Amino acid sequence: MVSARWQRAIAVLCAVSFVLTSCYSLNPVLIPSGESPPALPAVQVGDTVVVTTKKTTEKKTFIVTAVEAEAVVGKGVRVAYADMTSLSVKRIRKGATTLAVVITVLGILSIIAAAETAEAINDVYDY
């Protein structure tokens, strides 16, 4: 049955998109001011950050390769703290991720079981 296969494919696609979108959250980080000595933000190398700049209010998303006293640096990007209006770090939400994976697996298993049951019933009543 082609329609049952499409239904399963759509269900799996929905489940995977649910898992991928629910696993992350953006955590705002305090931007260092002109203190002496400057305090570094709670950003680490390897973090994915979202920075909003003052001049263009453009949002830049990048992976941090270096944290300097005056700026956050990524591949081909360097944004000074003085040019930022907001700084957020993308973090994995472990509890939500675990729950989403469990729900997705259970959903996929129930779809497979329902499809197999429907095929078995069709085979029994197929004359």
**Residue 28: predicted pLDDT:** 85
Confirm if 47 and 63 have CB atoms less than 8 A apart: yes
One pLDDT digit (tens) per residue for the chain, 127 residues? 446 666 777 777 776 766 666 667 777 888 877 655 556 667 889 999 999 998 887 889 999 999 988 889 999 999 998 889 999 998 776 776 677 777 777 877 787 777 777 777 777 776 4
pTM, 2 dp:
0.56
Going by DSSP bridges, is the β-strand pair 24-28/48-53 parallel, antiparallel, or unpaired?
A: unpaired
**Residue 1: predicted pLDDT:** 47
Question: Domain segments of the chain: what residues?
Answer: 1-23+93-127, 25-91
CA atoms within 13 A on the CB side of 115: 16
- Distance of alpha carbon 16 from alpha carbon 7, whole angstroms: 14
